[in-house]
Amino acid sequence: METVKLTINGMAVEVPAGTTVLNAAEQAGINIPRLCHEPDLSPLGACRLCVVEIEGMRNLPASCVTAVSPNMLVHTHSPAVVEARQTILELLLANHPQDCLTCEKMGNCKLASYCYEYGVKQSAFPGDRHNYPVEDSNPFIVRDMNKCILCGKCVRACAEITGKNNLDYAYRGFNSKVTTFYDVPFVESDCVFCGNCVSVCPTGALTEKRIQGKARHFEFTKVKTTCPFCGTGCNFDLNVKDGKVMAVTTGPDNAVNGRALCIKGRFGWDFIYSDRRLTTPLIKRGDGFVQASWDEALDLIATRLQGIKDKYGGDSFAALSSARCTNEENYLLQKFTKVVMGTNNVDHCART
């Protein structure tokens, strides 16, 4: 593989040809701020926060869309670069609500993190502000376009990951807005509610409706697991707070799905807290069921199954195992059927 040698902040770096300056810096352990760049989306160069100084170049190029070239001399945090980033952040803040205390994204907001890092407390550019109504016409996603910084990550996630192309820029200039075709609410659009846009949004523009006011992202313990719906086998993180699953999130590194999920994996897991969940064993008495302890229920099952086995033989019993349950549960139920009941009458819905 052809490689390129360059110098970043005085450090000699060698990377494969075609690598961007941003990625080359990252490989050298230097973190360059970015709002519109995401490794699993196409590069855009829109937010300009990743600008760097490259000796011999007239302007400060965006490092996410600039390829390395031999003997490049790059400065990622020179005074000119830092000043440019501060100005960019001030420009973004000029039209951004500063309701961070109650913002759903607090603690997980890239704009806030970079303002903190670059010491930008307020904007030097007072002027018009958007006053869009917050859109929460659906049960999954809240859209607050006042907080959108037009980085276009949601546009690219929808087009490049999901392939729905349901979001794009509309209008011009100050009125530029990321929205649906005809600027209608999500429910009236082609949205499939996969939430992949939410997973890439760097600010509070797109957030999950279910946890509004209930949990901050830094309060979560993340438990990586595998989706319980179809056979694709997507991984995601269950976000747990106080012993309760509150949300599902994904990063770009999952084996099968990367960050992508569908509506079921990202939002459909709340069946676990349905008020119709069964939580105690039930025994039929007459036409209805009465609650029982585990011991009572299991004792009754053991007695009845033993009786039926003794009277009619093991082949009078059959088990339906489950394609929705774990390998371990399936292994145990087929073992129980074959060993304890003495029959091979065990099947599941594999062929339906």
39 lines the binding site for another protein (CB under 8 A):
no
Produce one character per residue of 153-188: b if its CB has 16 or more CB atoms within 10 Å, e if not: bbbbbbbebbebebbeeeeeeeeebbbbeeeeebee
| Binding status of residue 134 toward another protein by CB under 8 A | no
Does 184 help bind another protein (rule: CB under 8 A)? no
Which residue in 29, 56, 79, 163 binds another protein (CB under 8 A)?
163
Using the contact rule CB under 8 A, the part of the chain among 58-66, 72-80, 111-119, 256-264 near another protein is 256-264
9 binds another protein (CB under 8 A): no
Report the relative pairing of strands 221-226 and 235-241 from DSSP bridges.
antiparallel
CB 235 within 8 A of CB 259: no
* DSSP reduced 3-state for 199: helix
The verdict on 219 binding another protein (CB under 8 A) reads no
Q: Can you tell me which of 71, 116, 187, 212 binds another protein, judged by CB under 8 A? A: 187
**Cα angle for residues 85, 90, 92 (degrees, 5° grid):** 95
d(CA 124, CA 126): 6
Binding mask 258-287 for another protein (x = CB under 8 A): --xxxxx--xxxxxx-x-xxxxxxxxx---
Question: Distance (Å, rounded) from C-alpha 277 to C-alpha 113?
Answer: 41
Closest to another protein by CB, 124 vs 282, is 282
Quote the radius of gyration of the chain (alpha carbons, Å): 27
**By CB neighbour count within 10 A (0-12 exposed, 13-18 middle, 19+ buried), where does 59 fall?**
exposed
Closest distance of CB 7 from another protein, Å: 35
We find the least distance from the C-beta atom of residue 161 to another protein, in angstroms, to be 6
Contact by Cβ (8 Å): 204, 108 = no
Rule CB under 8 A: is residue 140 a binding residue for another protein? Answer: yes
Residue 225 contacts another protein per CB under 8 A: yes
Of these, 136, 229, 251, 252, which contacts another protein (CB under 8 A)?
229
Q: How many CB atoms lie within 10 A of CB 32?
A: 25
Is 59 one of the binding residues for another protein (CB under 8 A)?
no
Contacts 24+ apart (CB under 8 A), 124-130: 124/90, 125/90, 125/91, 125/94, 126/94, 127/94, 127/95, 128/95, 128/174, 129/95, 129/97, 130/95
Distance CA(226)–CA(269), nearest Å, equals 12
Work out how close the CB of 145 gets to another protein at its nearest, in angstroms, rounded to a whole number: 22
The distance of Cα 213 from the centroid of its chain, to the nearest Å, equals: 19
Rounded CA-CA distance 23/26 in Å is: 5
Binding mask 320-339 for another protein (x = CB under 8 A): xxxxxxxxxxxxxxxxxxxx
Q: Can you state the angle between helices 79-93 and 110-117, rounded to 10 degrees?
A: 140
Interface region with another protein, contact rule CB under 8 A, candidates 11-19, 35-43, 98-106, 223-231:
223-231
> Between 69 and 293, whose beta carbon lies closer to another protein?
293
- Minimal distance, residue 307 CB to another protein, in Å: 8
Smallest gap from residue 152 Cβ to another protein (A): 18
Among 66, 95, 235, 249, binds another protein (CB under 8 A): 235
The distance of closest approach from Cβ of residue 241 to another protein in the complex, given in angstroms and rounded to an integer, is 10
Task: Find the part of the chain contacting another protein (CB under 8 A) among 3-11, 84-92, 174-182, 226-234.
Answer: 226-234
Question: Segment contacting another protein (CB under 8 A): 2-10, 71-79, 143-151, 242-250?
Answer: 242-250
Nearer to another protein, 90 or 135 (CB): 135
Q: Which two tokens stand for residue 192?
A: 């499939």
Determine which residue in the list 138, 177, 184, 252 makes contact with another protein, applying CB under 8 A.
Answer: 138
The site map against another protein for 198-217 (x = CB under 8 A) is: ------------x-------
